Amino acid sequence: MTDLERGKGRLAIRQTDMKAFKVGENVATSPGKVVYQNELIQLIQYAPTTAEVYALPLLIVPPWINKFYILDLKPENSFIQVATEQGYTVFVISWVNPDEHLTKLTFDDYMKLGPLAALDAIGKATGQRQASAIGYCIGGTLMAATLATWRRAATTGSRLYLLHSAGRLHRAGRARRVHRRGAARRRRRGDEQEGLSRR
């Protein structure tokens, strides 16, 4: 019954003890702060812990099916902590848990409200016109599509590193159908443009 109540009538089977982990205590222990948010994301900034700091900040785009702390589980296996200890200013996208209010969002919306909004916020927070990026799983696919589609992102992104990310979607099943629906909507609106010509 608890699983049905949590799912509001739909079966939401627990796969772990919901009380075993607490953000900031035994998971996601790296100190960070939210520097930007919109209806789809929060952008968390982690300060470097070194005297010398890399000029270019680092943006991490995780998959929206995972939490931001997939790369910051605890100190001994936290990629975020390793990066800050190497002198990087790290920014991580934290995706909201979508509900019925976000059902009409397209892949384009995820690009605009996700990586594009994050890159703009990073520029304002650091004064840097460019940032390196790491895309993880579908977050990497989203980041690669953003850089390939939007001129603003292409000139802002310095380097992109992909972790377990699909780049060729000709056999991607549902992801391909979602991308095609977004393209069809753009054609109907009459604002389809090729390559990096979009602003």
* CA 178 to centroid of chain Cα atoms: 18
Segments in the chain forming alpha helices (H): 2-6, 79-85, 107-111, 117-126, 138-149, 151-156, 174-189
Q: Rounded to an integer, what distance in angstroms lies between the CA atom of residue 85 and that of residue 51?
A: 10
Pairing type for strands 58-61 and 90-95 reads: parallel
**195 included as an active-site residue:** no
Query: Which residues contact residue 121 at a Cβ distance below 8 angstroms, ignoring those fewer than 6 apart?
Result: 35, 36, 43, 91
Selecting among 137, 143, 144, 145, the annotated active-site residue is: 137
* Catalytic (active-site) positions: 137
